[in-house]
Amino acid sequence: MSTNFADIVEEVKTLTVQEKQDLHQLIESYLIEARRDEIYDAYAQSVSELDQGKLKFSSDTDKLKEMLLND
């Protein structure tokens, strides 16, 4: 089944207020879950880069600026 965005919007308009509220809660939950997945993926990539020795650390702000400019 292939439904385009405009069709979905039109279908949502026909829902009851309670159904719209339920849909809203579902969408918020899905967005939170997607954001958590993004954060986890970034974490996993960072751990991988750390294990490969690709990450550099410094508390010297001048050195940090230099590192950012050289990337």
Does the pTM of the predicted model rise above 0.75? no
Q: How confident is the model at residue 70 (pLDDT cuts 50, 70, 90)?
A: confident
Distance in angstroms (rounded) separating the CA atoms of residues 41 and 34: 11
Task: Give tens-digit pLDDT for 30-49.
Answer: 999 999 999 999 999 999 99
Distance in angstroms (rounded) separating the CA atoms of residues 59 and 25: 43
Residue listed under structure tokens 């230099």: 66
Q: Which pLDDT does position 1 carry in this prediction?
A: 54
Q: Helix (H, G, I), strand (E, B), or coil: what is residue 12?
A: helix
